[in-house]
Amino acid sequence: MAALACALIFMHPAFSEGGGEKASENAGGPGFFTMPPVVVNLAGQDIDHYLQVSIVFQTSQPGVVEKLKEYEPILRSRTILVLSSKRRKDVDSLKGRQLLTDELVDMARVTVPGDDKAPDKGIKDVLLTAFVIQ
């Protein structure tokens, strides 16, 4: 019985090749834009620390992803400026990383022209998919 249920679920068009993208576009669901990994020197004078981070921008609508792609060079530059202004102690804790993601969301909303600042209409969140301090 469980095998039949799994088979029926995976036969659904949303799980078939290419079906998921069309389903989310038609439904007006979220979109995701992955920026190439960023490596920066963290601020501070005592010891050199490096931060490597992978960032995914989550949008409320798939159409916003196209704008993020269009403005990627500016987003990348401003992301580097934000990250390189941080000290290790600023990003070592969970609270510090949450503040960083909030700052990156605000930066992206200001960078992309026409982005509605409401999370349910434009850039919803920034996801840190990799975060390495050395």
Residue (of 111, 124, 101) closest to 72 by Cα position: 111
Report phi then psi at 62, rounded to 5: -60, -30
Q: What is the pLDDT of residues 47-57, one digit of tens each?
A: 789 999 999 99
pTM above 0.85, yes or no: no
Q: Give the C-alpha separation, 44 to 61, whole Å.
A: 39
The answer to whether the beta carbons of residues 68 and 79 sit under 8 Å apart is no
53-111: pLDDT as tens digits: 999 999 988 888 999 999 999 999 999 999 999 999 999 999 999 999 999 999 999 99
CA atoms of 110 and 101, how far apart (whole Å): 14
In this prediction, residue 21 carries a pLDDT of 39
